[in-house]
Amino acid sequence: MKKVKQILSRIYHIPALKYVVVTVIGVVLIGFVDENSVWHHMVNKQRINELQEEIDEYTTQNKNDQAQIKKLDSDPKAIKKIARERYFMKADNEDIFVLSDDENTGKSILNDDETAE
């Protein structure tokens, strides 16, 4: 215990050490620990940039959707096209065939050991 007191008293008598300790503690508080620290500001700026990119994407999508709505309001052929392509609607005198790219379509339902008669 005596050695610790001697070391602390020697450290205490170094005049510049007080300023260095206070400066280091201040930098740590301002830079990392505090709610308004530089670290938090950097993280918040990055998040703001990500959100701004997301806003730009949604704005572009909104403009495209608005243009499509205007087109649908003015052109009845566009309504027919969307109804046929997306919702498989047909006219009264038509048949629709939906083609599939599945690999299982050409294979038999029967197992290898079963035979069909």
Q: How far is Cα 109 from Cα 117, in angstroms, rounded to an integer? A: 14
Residue with tokens 């339902």: 109
Amino acid identity at 8? L
Can you give the pLDDT at residue 65?
Answer: 92
pLDDT at 117: 46
- What are the domain boundaries of the chain? 1-34, 38-100
Write the DSSP string, the chain: -HHHHHHHHHHHT-HHHHHHHHHHHHHHIIIIISTT-HHHHHHHHHHHHHHHHHHHHHHHHHHHHHHHHHHHHH-HHHHHHHHHHHH----TT---------GGGGS-SS-TT----
Q: Encode the chain (117 residues) as per-residue pLDDT tens digits.
A: 888 888 878 877 777 887 888 888 888 887 777 778 888 889 999 999 999 999 999 999 999 999 988 988 888 888 888 877 777 777 777 777 777 777 765 555 555 555 554
